[in-house]
Amino acid sequence: MIANVRDVRRARSELLDCIRAVAVAAVVFYHVAVEIPDSVIGPIAEFTATYGFLGVDIFFPLSGFLVTHFLLRNTSRSAQKVFFMRRFFRIVPLYYVALSIYIIASSTTGIDRDIISNIWKNALFLTGWSIFFEGRETIPFTITWSLSVEEVAYIILGIAAFSIRRFFPIFLIGLLHCILSSTTLYHTRFQNPLYYSLPLQQRLRFHCSWWAC
Q: pLDDT for 57-90, tens place per residue? A: 888 888 888 888 888 887 788 888 888 888 889 8
Domain map (residue ranges) of the chain? 59-212
Tell if the pTM clears 0.85, that is, is over it.
Answer: no
Instruction: Quick: pLDDT tens for 159-180.
Output: 888 888 888 888 888 877 777 7
If you ran DSSP here, which 8-state letter would residue 140 be given? S
Alpha carbon separation from 129 to 10, 189, 203 (Å, rounded):
35, 19, 12
185-to-10, 59, 135 alpha-carbon distances in Å: 41, 25, 21
Buried b / exposed e across 8-41, counting CB within 10 Å, b at 16+? beeeeeeeeeeebeebeebbebbeebeeeeeeeb
Q: What is the pLDDT of residues 6-47, one digit of tens each?
A: 555 555 677 888 888 899 899 899 988 888 888 788 888 889
Write the CA distances from 201 to 26, 61, 205, integer angstroms: 21, 12, 7
3-class DSSP state of 204: helix
Region 145-151: mean pLDDT is 85
